[in-house]
Structure 1
């Protein structure tokens, strides 16, 4: 661990938080850090990261999550994004490239720029959905 509580010395995002790697910092709170993505999908693409090293969102303490969305909202508003995505991936199969929880704020100015998704609903039925619903509900 680094000298900063809850950060990792081996993580590129933790190094950005501690200033060991420079960034175009937009905002910082005691729990979050927001900066420009250097491989943007569109103009203004920003990352909002918690100041707590966790690979998956479900490993992150709630107080860090509570800080992220208000920052994402402020950035989208300040950047004057008309349409945009807020994206958060968990694990390599879900396209997470850096194993530190992070949220992308990505402007979608037209059909080609920004995030492109292919949404392919799976074939299912109401019985299968109900069974999964009951399985999830019992653990909430």
Structure 2
């Protein structure tokens, strides 16, 4: 009988990365809101989206690495890279939406939905990057 296990240190690490990424995103969004110049705002949005997207992506992949399967497992580098790009792209859209002059309920709801879509797209793209080889068991 084969069992799967979790490396609990990696699970804790994933939680810490998620916490730090969330704090960074919230802190950056408050600074972006205060900026007046369009160009400097865009630079901060790109930096914030990169920090937020990489944090979300890292938390997800550390969690995936914490899960141990009884079969050989690898990841396709290109598809894994696409999942990172998806996380950063949707993070940019969300940060752009929540850092406008007025944060309306509509903008907040749309940004939340976009974040959910982005995380889902990143997750399923990351799962598609998994390369597994089955084990043949003889009885």
More strand by share: 1
Flag the structure with larger Rg.
2
Q: Same fold (TM over 0.5)?
A: no
Q: TM-score, normalised to structure 1's length?
A: 0.28
More helix by share: 2
Q: TM-score, normalised to structure 2's length?
A: 0.28
Q: Return the structure number with greater relative CO, CA threshold 8 A, min gap 6.
A: 2
